[in-house]
Amino acid sequence: MEGVLLRRYKRFLADVRLEDGSDVTAHAPNTGSMIGCDEPGSRVWLLDTGNGRRKYPLSWELVEVEGGVLVGTNTGLANGLVREGIERGLIPELGGFASLRAEVPYGSGSRIDLLLEDAAAGSCYVEVKNVTMAADGVAYFPDSVSERAMKHLLELAEVAGSGDRAVVFFCVQRDDVREFRPADSIDVRFGEALRQAVAAGVEPLAYIADVSTAGVSLSRRLPVVLP
């Protein structure tokens, strides 16, 4: 259902005015600051989860930003998009594995988003990061300081050091960008950690997702620039 964003508050809540004039409160499934994606007056699309046990059964899924660009706002969708992309052979860099498991324990109390395994190819640990922020054709992550993302990079570097493949995958839920870069101006420590992780053998991948009111799916690879 379509509406207009009135405000986002307490990070996980959004008040929306629907087309029929009624006001509703929806869950905002995004842990970031949503810079550029939570402006009052923006067109948004909500999904009715049909879950009557939830206090806020409506979920904010899409927003239209400047230039008429649609952005996927549901952070939780990113893992599924990458998994689907792997299973459909849309991500050749992550092809050739016999099995795929999700949320597998590793590191110091963490769970890897996706673990690919094969008797010949070995193991590949994939940590997925959802990206919504962009400026001047460049996608950026993170949009707020993230100690958790830092921790994941350190654990991936340890995986790479042990001889397994380690990948940090930036799932960009918008299609108006030409490259990906770490948001050094927001979290300089993350940028430094990403560069160090890459130097240690962690592979950075970024893919654009085609976003529409009919659905969201991975589309093409983006260059990762680490100046």
Tens of pLDDT, residues 180-204: 999 999 999 999 999 999 999 999 9
pLDDT of residue 51: 83
Q: How far is the C-alpha of 175 from the C-alpha of 160, rounded, in Å?
A: 30
Q: Measuring CA to CA, which residue among 84, 87, 94, 124 is closest to residue 210? A: 84
DSSP 56: S
Q: What is the predicted pLDDT for the residue at 34?
A: 96
Task: Tell me the mean pLDDT in the region 4-30.
Answer: 96
Q: Cα separations (Å) of 88 from 74, 162, 180, 204, 208?
A: 21, 29, 23, 20, 16
Per-residue pLDDT, 100: 97
Look at residue 107 in the predicted model and tell me its pLDDT: 82
Same domain, 170 and 67: no
Distance from C-alpha of 60 to C-alpha of 153, rounded to nearest angstrom: 29
Sort strands 58-65 and 43-48 into parallel, antiparallel or unpaired.
Answer: antiparallel
- Please give the Cα distance from 189 to 215 (Å, whole number): 34
Domain edge (last residue) among 72, 94, 121: 72
Q: pLDDT tens, 25-81?
A: 999 999 899 999 999 999 999 999 988 888 999 999 999 999 999 999 999 999 999
Could you give the C-alpha distances from 103 to 29, 110, 119, 130, in angstroms and in order? 18, 9, 20, 16
Q: Considering the chain, what percentage of its residues have pLDDT values greater than 90?
A: 95
pLDDT of residue 154: 95
| CATH label of the domain that carries residue 22 | 2.40.50.580
Could you tell me if 31 and 120 lie in one domain?
no
- Domain at 149, CATH number: 3.40.1350.60
End of a domain among 72, 105, 127? Answer: 72
Mind listing the pLDDT tens digit for each residue in 147-159? Answer: 999 999 999 999 9
Reduce the DSSP state of residue 35 to 3 states and report it: coil
In sequence order, what DSSP letters do the residues of 81-95 get, joined into one string? HHHHHHHTT--GGG-
What pLDDT digit, counting tens, does each position of 76-123 carry? 999 999 999 999 999 999 999 999 999 999 988 899 999 999 999 999
Domain that holds residue 124: 77-222
Domain's final residue, options 72, 90, 109:
72
